[in-house]
Structure 1
Amino acid sequence: MALPRFLVQVMVVGSQIVGRAFAQALRQEFRTGTAARQRASETGQKAAGTKSAAANSLSGMSLQEAKQILNVELLDHQQINEKFEHLFKVNDRAQGGSFYLQSKVYRAKERLDMELKTDASNDHHDS
């Protein structure tokens, strides 16, 4: 008789722990989002900040991280492609490379391409 009661107690305590962790994660996400919006509005680039945050969220990395991974300073399409091709080939599993690093390189290029597309779109609207 004690075993079912014990199992129910374990399930209740486990649910409470998961619920608290979920609530804490939501609060942290809310604080992070609020801080990002405040920073964007302080710099006067709220729309650009929102687009950048959306791109960060979609790609899973920030613009700065993507630049560091591909070792580029400026958003130059040709330089990004050259660095990407080199790093992607070097990290090919067939060459003894790392799939994880290769995927990070791919995501970095994807993130920089999003930024280039956003910049081109902003330039088009400014004209």
Structure 2
Amino acid sequence: MAKYIAQLIIAGSQVIGRAFARAVKQEIEASQQAAQRLGNAKTRTERIANQKLGLSLEEAKQILNIRNLTKEEIEEKYQSLFKANEKTSLYLQSKIVRAKERLDHEILSGPQTEKTQSSESPKT
């Protein structure tokens, strides 16, 4: 009987050890991806905004499905998405709010990234 209990304890600790190792590995990968995502910013102010608000400019544009940074388009998309998810998902609503905050921050700080992108495009 003691032999079976010892085998059970050993097997259980192996399972727990593998699960813990897998969880640590996933956490390391997630933190590396987050660091890479935040590190892809082109300017120092963009990196600071990404860290402060938790979203990159591209992520915020994807969430609200915005191509141009205009106050009207941001507000229109924000209102429609926020109302569409009003009764279904608080998580999606919070992502929509964070995306709007990030885009509003970008508008207030100026269209620096659009200027650098347009000046980098080759002229023919």
What TM-score, normalized to structure 2? 0.56
The equivalent residue for 1:19 is 21
Q: Distance in 2 between matches of 1:28 and 1:101?
A: 20
Mark the CA change 1:51 to 1:28 in structure 2 (over 3 Å): closer, same or farther: same
**Unaligned 5+ residue runs, structure 2?**
113-124
**Aligned equivalent of 1:77:** 71
Change (3 A) 1:73 1:80: same
Distance 1:35 1:86 in 2: 27
The offset of 1:36, in angstroms, is: 6.2
Could you tell me which residue of structure 2 aligns to residue 6 of structure 1?
8
Equivalence for 1:125: none
- Aligned identity (percent) is 32
Higher normalized helix content (fraction of residues): 1
Displacement of 1:68: 2.7
2:62 is aligned with 1:68: yes
Given that residues 37 and 56 in structure 2 are in contact (C-alpha distance below 8 angstroms), is that contact kept between their aligned partners in structure 1? no
Letter in 2 for 1:81: E
Mapped contact 1:55–1:111 kept (Cα < 8 A): no
Report the aligned-residue RMSD: 3.5
- Aligned match for 2:82, one of 84, 88, 93: 88
Q: Is the counterpart of residue 109 in structure 1 residue 100 in structure 2?
A: yes
Q: How many pairs does the alignment contain?
A: 108
Deviations 1:67-106 (A, max 9, x none): 133232222233212221122223332xxxx325444433
User: TM-score, normalization: structure 1?
Assistant: 0.56
